[in-house]
Amino acid sequence: MKRVFILFFIMLYGLNFSQSESGIYGDYNWVANWTNFKSKATEYKSPTIILAGEITENRTLKRNQTYLLTGKVYVVNKAILEIEAGTIIRGDFDSNAALIITKGAKLIANGEENDPIVFTSSKKENERKPGDWAGIVIMGEAPSNKFTGTLNQDLNPKYNAYGGSTISSCSGVLKYVRIEFAGSKTKNNEALSALTLAGVGNATKIENVQVSNSKGDAYKFCGGNIVANKLIAIKSACNDFNFTEGVQASLENSLSIRCPFVSAQGAPKVFEITNYEDFKNSDLSKPVTKVKINFSTAIRLSEKEKGYLDAVTYIDTQSMAEISNSVFSGFEKGCVFSDKIDFSKYKFGNLIFRNNILNACDKNFVTDKLENFDQVNDLYLKESNNIKILALDPVALFYSTDFKSAPDLRVKLQSNALAGK
């Protein structure tokens, strides 16, 4: 009986300890092995096979081959494009290349930890820049709150529709995939996202994806029902994760590394959470954008540089979000609320912010106009939310901040960090 009691105590203590941890987690540094923090200088093989036009039937891109993605390549007719681990796809700069998976089609990009799939620029090493090519677009059959579910990203109108009623639809697999130097601009001078998921259903497997040096958003979720794990955004010019059009999203164990010197105008965020982009084309009877973010870490490089107005998250008047067990370090602002919110009527449940660490952030909870400091902070900086405000050097907070290789941004000495020591 005594042995059973001791075992129960150990299990209970372990459970309480695991629940107290914050930020990305894992038994080992899962950022290592498959990622690349020197993508500009990496030498890739020259392409030997051209991808262009429409892919109308099932096709497999072979392991250890290098392909040149030319122009807009559409996977149509419910075809499946399978990409084997170790494949390199280089997006052509001159033709503003893009890979578009149309509604009903699938992308099976199933890389391996020691043999990832890489989408990168066609330019030579040390000549690559953000926006060298457009990026990847995947359109599915899950709901959005947009009346006309179409993407206006210079896509062929024949193939730009997304959305439907199938929450559990599957658009394929993205696993151990890197996307580098994407996010070129459209004809309307709008920066594209490196990875756009529009109306994608929750049977789609999305995990271990790294987006580096995007000129637009790293990830954009337009409607759909998303479950994603271990997504990384590095040095995005715009937002790292953009949620809109009524998307229902669950994001766990995500990592953002921001650099103020590459940020675009408009105060980019780690998480931008809005209910719609075009009010006139939105069906407000549909579910609002709802995002759950758990065990996330975001760090801003050069945290002593001021005046860039970056922030952890932005939420509009209607969206809902729950951000828990996460760590945000070095930002000028923490959570930013729309200045249209009437805080005398604001529902606390719209943004739940609990068990988080805000480290070396100048302002914690503000509005667009940097008003209502006391009112907003009083809502969130109360004991029950367990928010820790720290002022630590990142070297003291994380296992490794060596960004010349794969850093280990798990929080070390969790109990001390959470105690504010």
Per-residue pLDDT tens for 320-337?
999 999 999 999 888 888
* pLDDT: which is higher, 412 or 24: 24
Query: Looking at residues 161-185, what average pLDDT do you find?
Result: 96
Residue with tokens 């954008």: 289
Task: Tell me which H or E stretch contains 374.
Answer: helix 373-380
Query: Looking at residues 354-377, what average pLDDT do you find?
Result: 79
pLDDT confidence bin for 340, thresholds 50/70/90: confident
Q: Which two tokens stand for residue 407?
A: 């850093």
pTM above 0.85, yes or no: yes
Asked if the model's pLDDT at residue 8 lies above 70, the reply is no
- The answer to whether the CB of 53 falls within 8 A of the CB of 79 is no
Distance, CA of 127 to CA of 70 (rounded, Å):
19
Identify each DSSP E strand in 225-350 by its residue range: 225-234, 241-244, 248-252, 255-258, 269-273, 290-294, 297-300, 311-315, 320-324, 327-329, 333-337
Distance, CA of 221 to CA of 226 (rounded, Å):
8
- The answer to whether the CB of 104 falls within 8 A of the CB of 80 is no
pLDDT confidence bin for 303, thresholds 50/70/90: low
- The answer to whether the CB of 219 falls within 8 A of the CB of 197 is yes
The upper half-sphere exposure of residue 128, i.e. CA atoms within 13 Å in the direction of its Cβ, equals 29
> Which pLDDT score, from 0 to 100, does residue 218 have?
98
pLDDT confidence bin for 19, thresholds 50/70/90: very low
- The answer to whether the CB of 116 falls within 8 A of the CB of 232 is no
Mean of pLDDT over the chain: 88
Query: Looking at residues 384-404, what average pLDDT do you find?
Result: 91
> Which pLDDT score, from 0 to 100, does residue 338 have?
84
Query: Looking at residues 252-280, what average pLDDT do you find?
Result: 87
Give the residue among 273, 235, 275 at the shortest CA–CA distance from 256: 235
HEC string of 189-257 equals CCECCCEEEECCCCCCEEEEEEEECCCCCCEEEECCEEEEEEEEEECCCCCCEEEECCCEEEEECCEEE
pLDDT confidence bin for 346, thresholds 50/70/90: low
Per-residue pLDDT tens for 55-78?
999 999 999 899 999 999 999 999
Give the residue among 82, 88, 89 at the shortest CA–CA distance from 106: 82
> Which pLDDT score, from 0 to 100, does residue 414 have?
62
pLDDT confidence bin for 367, thresholds 50/70/90: confident
pLDDT confidence bin for 265, thresholds 50/70/90: low
**CA torsion angle 36 323 237 147 (round to 10):** 120
pLDDT confidence bin for 281, thresholds 50/70/90: confident
Per-residue pLDDT tens for 152-170?
878 999 999 999 999 999 9
Cα separation values, 311 from 58, 101, 102, 218, 239, Å: 43, 32, 33, 15, 10
> Which pLDDT score, from 0 to 100, does residue 307 have?
54
- The answer to whether the CB of 239 falls within 8 A of the CB of 216 is no
Per-residue pLDDT tens for 347-365?
666 888 999 999 998 888 8
Query: Looking at residues 222-232, what average pLDDT do you find?
Result: 98
- Assign 185 to helix, strand or coil: strand
